[in-house]
Amino acid sequence: MKELIKKLVEVSSPSGREDSIRETIINELEGYVDEYRVDAIGNLIVRKAGSAENPKKILLDGHADEIGVVITNIDKDGFLRIDPVGGVNPLMLLGAVMRFRSKSDGSVIRGIVSFESETARDLQNNYKNPSFDNLFLDIGATSKPDAQEKVSIGQFGTYDAGFIDQGKRLISKAMDDRIACAIIVQLFRIIENPVNDLYGVFSVQEEVGIVGASVAGYDIMPDMAIAIDVTGNSDTPKGFKRMDLQLGKGPAIKIKDRASISDRKVVDALMEAAEENNIPYQPEVLIFGGTNAHGYQLTRSGIPSGTLSIVSRYVHSPHEMVDYDDVINAVELLKRVVEKKS
Amino acid sequence: MYLKELSEIRGVSGNEVRVVTFLKEMIKELPVKPDSIKEDHLGNLMCLRKGKDSTKTAVLMAHTDEVGLMVTRIEEDGRLLARPLGGVDTRVMLGKRVLIGDDDIPAVISYKAIHNQKDPLKSPPRWSDIKIDTGLGDKKTVEKRIQIGDTISFDTRFEEYDNRYVGKAFDDRAGCSMLLRMMHEMEETPEHNIVFAFVVQEETGLRGSGMVLKHFHPDAVLVIEGTTAGDNPELKEARWSTHLDNGPAVNYLQGGYAIDRRLFEVVLQTARENKIPFQLKGRTVGSTDTSRTARSFYGAPGAVVNVPSRYIHSPVSVMSKTDFENTYKLARAVINNKNFVRVSYDPKTRGA
């Protein structure tokens, strides 16, 4: 499955610009789904029919987009100003390489970020209080026209950081949320005879405000929706002390975060399936953040929704780390859930 | 069209009824009437012009509300306390004239005398420091004319200076004015269905627009807005949002929604083909109703064109007449463009 993960995380598709990742996923799922379609706002919806007489609908969601930046200005010397697409901490950009696609020939344009400073004190202050108002992006352009040939205002880009395989631990940009996309693709590949109708939703624009989920939920009207997403961790030096989330202790079954409280029936279904099949899991209460479960829970007459999380380190940085066993166990757990007769 | 009237009408969020009443009167006068007119419980007004191709629908949207205040308490001495509806900074309120309630009672916003303040300009006054003075008398007298919950709007005359419009509520009566004019000038049957949607309560959190998708299933939504200029010369140009006289401003990213790539490209292409100048909005904060329509019901992709407007969300804003005209031209060309309602997600298309 590592090859699949590598393929998906290395695609550059920030919120609202999910075309490439959608195409990649469709290719990866070729032959494994009964049907697929793309809705009005760009959600990719795939389906595999269930064998039950009156099958229920189970929806698994992984958001297709990733955080990124957008070009807001090109100055007279060819330096760029950028704004965040989703929750990007400007601190993360220092030393990061960003990538865009060239307007003229489609090649990859890379740029690096630095901070404005007219004095040493300015520089210190800007390092201490990094803001999109005091940083700029340098694509190595020699002039404004040179920059304009390569990029344009309104163009979206992402981190340029590839997949690193450390054996048990995997590192890349966009683990959030391509790891979920990979889990869903893998599940569709291995599941042969689901009891219930299985829907996979590769939703758009989660990072800018949970846009895709409510539309997909309204459209499909599932009996249960499970968002799959990354979550925080507490297992790094001086890590969060109010939470207990560790890499390698199994997928996390979310009870609550800042945006939703999981439907208890969904939580129970996940925990029971884990216990019956001896799959490790960890209960999760996240003191910040939110997932697409929020969108599903608030559409139609309130879809029973929950989240299965992959504990991650350094979320929204260019190098997000997950545990490979957690990923394998998440696939196994979801397989058991959707195969279970209800 | 009717920009003066629309700018001067009072219609703070949640109390847009005068704006909608005016619009309905004007719609009665149209040379070609809409095929249907719908009003919903929230107060949204939707007018459908059926197209030659009735399988495709574009929604053209503007919001009827404006930012303002609401009375929250009447003090014993008769002065009022208020809270903002929409994004209003206390600093733009001090000493301004306002109108209150259904009877348009005039008042002035008072504030602690400058010589009594320790650090008058260091921090913005809090809403609890802002008292509104009607001069009517004590609490008992005031209560006969004003109730808690009455809306308060800026009292600003519409004016024209050279190439400038000056007035209040250009966000978004500029859009309302353009929708009305487009309905007026649309004598022939449009190519596809066009819904002119005047929506409520944008300023308090995009609350009205989503419901339009309960009644229509649009292929695309175009919002016309009055937006921030922020082009003060003392700021670096890279930090301006938009610049007056540079043409309509087009959004690509905003709070809660990345503008649909395909529609964004249709807007730019339409501008180029029609030789309409445009600028790309330099700031991505703030939101428009497309953030709501994208995620409502079955969803619809959206795009935004704006008239740059200085000092927005204050008692007085300034727009460029040529920007206004060009925004109208661009919106009209886009909404009638066949490609605008024919975007589809070809999975084989690689994006930007």
Of the candidates B219, B255, B261, which has its C-beta nearest A16's C-beta? B261
Residue B349 inside a domain? The answer is no
Torsion over CA: B43, B49, B54, B58 (sign): negative
Inter-chain contact A19–B301, Cβ cutoff 8 Å?
no
* CA angle centred on A196, ends A195 and A201, rounded to 5°: 130
Distance CA A267, CA A282 (A): 11
B135 is in which domain, residue-wise? 68-154
- The structure tokens listed for B305 are 């064109």
Indicate which of B280, B297, B345, B346 best probes the interface with A, i.e. most A CBs within 10 Å of its own CB: B345
Structure tokens belonging to residue B33: 């009437």
Give the start-end residues of each E strand in chain B. 36-39, 45-49, 53-63, 68-74, 80-85, 97-100, 105-110, 131-133, 151-154, 159-161, 164-167, 192-199, 220-228, 249-250, 253-254, 257-258, 279-280, 302-310, 317-320
Q: Are residues B99 and B229 in the same domain?
A: no
For residues B203 and B322, membership in a common domain is answered with: yes
Lowest mean pLDDT among A82-96, A169-183, A296-310, B334-348: B334-348
Does residue B346 belong to any structural domain of this protein? no
pLDDT in the model for residue A200: 98
Q: CATH code at A260?
A: 3.40.630.10
| Within a domain: A197 | yes
pLDDT for res B347: 54
Interface check A18 vs B, CB under 8 A = yes
Q: Are B280 and A39 inside 8 Å of each other by CB? A: no
Query: What's A98's domain CATH number?
Result: 2.40.30.40
Q: Which pairing describes strands A97-101 and A108-115: parallel, antiparallel, or unpaired?
A: antiparallel
Same domain, A44 and A73: no
| Residue A292 in domain | yes
Contact A26, B347 (CB under 8 A): yes
pLDDT, tens digit only, all 352 positions of chain B:
899 999 999 999 999 999 999 999 999 999 999 999 999 999 999 999 999 999 999 999 999 999 999 999 999 999 999 999 999 999 898 899 999 999 999 999 987 777 777 766 677 888 998 999 999 999 999 999 999 999 999 999 999 999 999 999 999 999 999 999 999 999 999 999 999 999 999 999 999 999 999 999 999 999 999 999 988 888 888 889 999 999 999 999 999 999 999 999 999 999 999 999 999 999 999 999 999 999 999 999 999 999 999 999 999 999 999 999 999 999 999 999 999 999 987 654 433 3
- pLDDT tens, residue by residue, A47-95: 999 999 999 999 999 999 999 999 999 999 999 999 999 999 999 999 9
Decide which of A109, A134, A159 is a domain's last residue: A159
ipTM for the complex shown: 0.94
Q: Are residues A189 and A56 in the same domain?
A: yes
| pLDDT for residue A24 | 97
Cβ within 8 Å, pair B257-A16: yes
Q: What is the mean pLDDT of residues A222-245?
A: 96
Per-residue confidence (pLDDT) for residue B124, from 0 to 100? 82
Q: Which of B122, B154, B186 is the last residue of a domain?
A: B154
Query: Do A73 and B351 make contact, defined as CB atoms within 8 angstroms?
Result: no
What are the residues whose beta carbons fall under 8 Å from the beta carbon of A289, sequence distance 6 or more?
A231, A232, A257, A258, A259
Residue B48 shares a structural domain with residue B110: no
Q: Given A38, A106, A205, which is nearest B345 (Cβ)?
A: A38
Residue B262 belongs to domain with CATH number: 3.40.630.10
Residue that terminates a domain, selected from B101, B129, B154: B154
Last residue of a domain, one of A108, A129, A159: A159
| Partners of residue B238 in chain A, C-beta under 8 Å | 72-73, 75, 81
Q: Based on the fold, state whether residues B315 and B269 are members of the same structural domain.
A: yes
Cβ-in-10-Å burial (0-12, 13-18, 19+) of B274 comes to middle
Give the integer Cα–Cα distance in Å for A114 and A314: 21
Chain A residues in contact with B282 (beta carbon < 8 A): 72-73, 81, 153
Tell whether A203 is covered by a domain: yes
Q: Looking at the structure, do residues B313 and B189 belong to the same domain, yes or no?
A: yes
> End of a domain among A136, A159, A182?
A159
Q: What is the pLDDT of residue A80?
A: 97
With contacts defined as CB-CB under 8 Å, which chain B residues touch A154? 250, 252-253, 264, 280
Number of domains in chain A: 2
Beta strands B192-199 and B53-63 are: parallel
Q: For residue B159, is it within any domain?
A: no
Instruction: Tell me if chain B has a CB within 8 Å of the CB of A41.
Output: yes
Q: Is B259's CB within 8 Å of A16's CB?
A: yes
Q: Are residues B29 and B150 in the same domain?
A: no
The 8-class DSSP code of residue A113 comes to: E
Q: Which of A133, A156, A209 sits opposite B256 (nearest CB)?
A: A209
Q: Is A206 a catalytic residue?
A: yes
CA A82 to CA A102: how far, in whole Å? 16
For chain A, the average pLDDT equals: 96
Q: What are B230's two structure tokens? A: 């922020």
Burial class, A266, CB count within 10 angstroms (exposed 0-12 / middle 13-18 / buried 19+)? buried
Q: Chain B interface residues facing chain A, Cβ-Cβ under 8 Å?
A: 219, 237-239, 250, 252-253, 255-261, 264, 280, 282-285, 291, 294-301, 345, 347-352
Looking at residue B349, what is its pLDDT?
A: 43
Domain that holds residue A58: 2-66+173-339
> Domain for residue B224, yes or no?
yes
pTM of the entire predicted model:
0.95
Residues B290 and B305 in one domain: yes
Residue A167 lies in a domain: no
Which residue in the set A13, A22, A40 is minimally distant from B347, CB to CB? A22
End-to-end CA separation in angstroms for chain A:
29
Q: How many domains does chain B have?
A: 2
The confidence score (pLDDT) of residue A294 equals 98
Residue A245 within any structural domain of the chain? yes
Structure token pair of residue B144: 């006969």
Identify whether residues B52 and B75 lie together within a single domain: no
In a domain, B347, yes or no: no
Q: Is A144 exposed, middle or buried (0-12, 13-18, 19+ CB in 10 A)?
A: middle
Residue B148 in any domain: the answer is yes
Q: Which of B154, B188, B215 is the last residue of a domain?
A: B154
Domain check: are A200 and A213 in the same one?
A: yes
The single residue of A28, A66, A206, A284 carrying the catalytic annotation is A206
